[in-house]
């Protein structure tokens, strides 16, 4: 018979495993529901209410796969913040009975699941969803969902062979011994190398999108808030919107039949957009003086402070890389949560790290959709095609899965990468990490300086009313005395 101690240990391990599984399932279900609501808000409803039941079924299956991928992306974004907060909670309540479920094993399991599902979604599920929606079945085969499924499986298999062959050739060029090993051990060498290349692509994409997004955050936030009257004339803007709305209404009501047949849909969409803009402007006009004069300056100062703190942390990390080997990003297989804080400023510093990580992710998304290369992927409410949804899910998954490596490489946090996230081949290369930090600090500083100088110039031109002048008039020739007199008359 087994000893009672052995039985109790096995029971404890079994209960711990069941508890971790239940927590992971609950977290995933919550993320899936939120992701489904987001995709439902943006999807084009007409693609899912087709008379052809076959196309409707295919589109629904692809939508479920996109929802799964988006939930994995959100989970990848929350990995580092949840890990940092869990460590601080265990530091604050080390002996609490209600915090026993929160341990290093659970966090490590979450990292492994996100890594596995990221690979699964990026390599199999999303390509399958795209080919499934575009397939029609092989010529001569029986039409239907099964025929399209068979064609999709064949095309996906051929694409997988092509991609694996290209990666093997690349690995053979860079490291011949690794290429030989990967032929015999696909899971241990080949797939991690493939995902390492994809992660490097995501980190480079973050390097390009995040500085642009950090500069664009000021204008995006400013468009959502009510500006002080010195910087914005709501009465004039609202009057222009009223005139435009009346003009579109006359075109819709008094146009010829030919005009209505050809352009009625376009005019209706413009009319609806103008009405929505008028409602927003009327609500902004009713804003309180506190919201108008205090909310906008505080929001701009907060964005500026977060951006400056990010640049300063990266600059400090550049110096740290030169003198401290522990500053290099590395993997960690056994997380010791609750032993020490990952910030020299304690819980407050950990909270700042979480805010900065989420701020960088939001900025990277804003920069991605502001880039001329990807502006066509920008989703629109109730008017986003299924192909665009798949493209957005791929982009967000690449950005979010690279966020932990991105944050650790820049020194935003000292929390080491868990699981397979720390096995990327290029993480130990000092020259790549050092050059990456230099480029991020330089690009972000340049974008920030350019944005601030241009924003100040634009707001001064608007405040003095120079934007109303015709283009033939040179604003530089107007004396400062006349500008001040014009501003004083507007205030009176």
Question: Computed over its alpha carbons, how large is the radius of gyration of the chain?
Answer: 28
Mean pLDDT computed over 296-316: 88
Rounded-to-integer distance, Cα 156 and Cα 123, Å: 10
Rounded-to-integer distance, Cα 454 and Cα 432, Å: 33
Does residue 146 surpass a pLDDT of 70? yes
Residue 289 has which token pair?
A: 């003086």
Per-residue pLDDT tens over the stretch 351-388: 888 999 999 999 999 999 988 888 888 888 877 888 88
Per-residue pLDDT tens over the stretch 85-98: 888 888 888 777 77
Per-residue pLDDT tens over the stretch 263-273: 566 666 677 77
Average pLDDT, the chain: 77
Does residue 338 surpass a pLDDT of 60? yes
Closest CA to 90 of 101, 76, 75: 101
Rounded-to-integer distance, Cα 487 and Cα 471, Å: 20
Per-residue pLDDT tens over the stretch 163-203: 777 767 766 776 655 555 545 555 556 666 666 777 778 88
Is the separation of the CB atoms in 431 and 199 below 8 Å? no
Please indicate, yes or no, whether the overall pTM of this predicted structure exceeds 0.85: no
Percent of the chain exceeding pLDDT 70 equals: 72
| The pLDDT of residue 358 | 92
| The pLDDT of residue 262 | 47
Does residue 135 surpass a pLDDT of 70? yes
Per-residue pLDDT tens over the stretch 225-252: 776 655 556 667 777 777 777 777 777 6
b vs e for 208-223, b when ≥16 Cβ sit within 10 Å of the residue's Cβ? bbbbbbbbbbbeeebe
| The pLDDT of residue 70 | 92
Residue 377 has which token pair?
A: 């992927």
- If one compares 138 and 394, the residue with the highest pLDDT of the two is 394
Per-residue pLDDT tens over the stretch 76-85: 899 888 888 8
Q: Given the DSSP bridges, would you call strands 331-332 and 417-418 parallel, antiparallel or unpaired?
A: parallel
Residue 228 has which token pair?
A: 């002080």
Residue 165 has which token pair?
A: 């062959």
Closest CA to 296 of 231, 390, 356, 208: 231
pLDDT classification of 69: cutoffs 50, 70, 90: very high
Burial environment of residue 88 by CB neighbours within 10 A (0 to 12, 13 to 18, 19 or more): buried
Closest CA to 195 of 169, 163, 157, 153: 163
Is the separation of the CB atoms in 245 and 275 below 8 Å? yes
Per-residue pLDDT tens over the stretch 475-492: 444 444 444 455 455 444
Rounded-to-integer distance, Cα 448 and Cα 305, Å: 12
Per-residue pLDDT tens over the stretch 8-34: 777 777 777 888 889 889 999 999 999
- If one compares 479 and 73, the residue with the highest pLDDT of the two is 73
């Amino acid at each position: 018979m087994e000893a009672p101690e052995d039985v109790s240990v096995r029971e404890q391990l079994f209960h711990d495993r069941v508890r971790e599984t239940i927590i992971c399932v609950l977290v995933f279900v919550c993320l899936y529901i939120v992701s489904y609501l987001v995709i439902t808000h943006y999807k084009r409803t007409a693609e899912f209410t087709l008379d052809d039941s076959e196309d409707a079924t295919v589109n629904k299956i692809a939508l479920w796969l996109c929802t799964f991928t988006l939930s994995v992306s959100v989970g990848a974004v929350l990995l580092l913040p949840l890990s940092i907060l869990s460590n601080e909670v265990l530091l604050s309540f080390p002996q609490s009975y209600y915090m026993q479920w929160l341990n290093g094993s659970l966090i490590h399991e979450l990292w492994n699941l996100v890594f596995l599902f990221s690979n699964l979604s990026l390599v199999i599920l999303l390509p399958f969803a795209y080919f499934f929606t575009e397939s029609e079945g092989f010529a001569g085969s029986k039409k239907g969902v099964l025929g399209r499924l068979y064609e999709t499986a064949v095309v996906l298999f051929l694409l997988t062979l092509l991609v694996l062959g290209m990666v093997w050739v690349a690995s053979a060029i860079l490291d011949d011994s690794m290429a030989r090993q990967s032929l015999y051990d696909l899971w241990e060498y080949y797939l991690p190398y493939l995902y390492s290349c994809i992660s490097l692509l995501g980190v480079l994409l973050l390097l390009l999108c995040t500085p642009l997004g950090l500069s664009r955050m000021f204008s995006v936030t400013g468009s959502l808030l009510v500006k002080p009257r010195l910087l914005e004339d709501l009465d004039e803007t609202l009057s222009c919107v009223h005139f435009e709305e009346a003009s579109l209404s006359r075109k819709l009501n008094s146009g010829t039949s030919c005009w209505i047949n050809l352009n009625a849909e376009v005019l209706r969409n413009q009319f609806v957009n103008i009405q929505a803009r008028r409602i927003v402007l009327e609500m902004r006009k009713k804003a309180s003086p506190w919201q108008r004069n205090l909310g906008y300056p505080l929001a701009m100062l907060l964005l500026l402070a977060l951006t400056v703190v990010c640049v300063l942390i990266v600059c400090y990390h550049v110096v740290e890389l030169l003198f401290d080997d522990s500053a290099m990003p590395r993997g960690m297989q056994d997380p010791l949560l609750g032993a020490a804080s990952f910030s020299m400023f304690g819980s407050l510093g950990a909270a700042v790290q979480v805010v900065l990580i989420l701020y960088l992710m939001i900025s990277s998304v804003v920069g991605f959709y502001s880039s001329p290369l990807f502006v066509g992927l920008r989703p629109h409410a109730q008017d986003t095609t299924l192909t665009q949804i798949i493209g957005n899910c791929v982009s967000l998954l690449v950005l979010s899965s690279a966020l932990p490596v991105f944050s650790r490489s820049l020194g935003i946090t000292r929390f080491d990468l868990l699981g397979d996230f720390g096995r990327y081949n290029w993480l130990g290369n000092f020259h790549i990490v050092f050059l990456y930090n230099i480029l991020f600090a330089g690009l972000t500083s340049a974008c920030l300086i350019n944005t601030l100088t241009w924003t100040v110039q634009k707001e001064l031109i608007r405040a003095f009313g120079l934007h109303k002048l015709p283009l033939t008039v040179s604003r530089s020739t107007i004396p400062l005395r006349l500008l001040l007199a014009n501003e004083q008359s507007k205030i009176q």
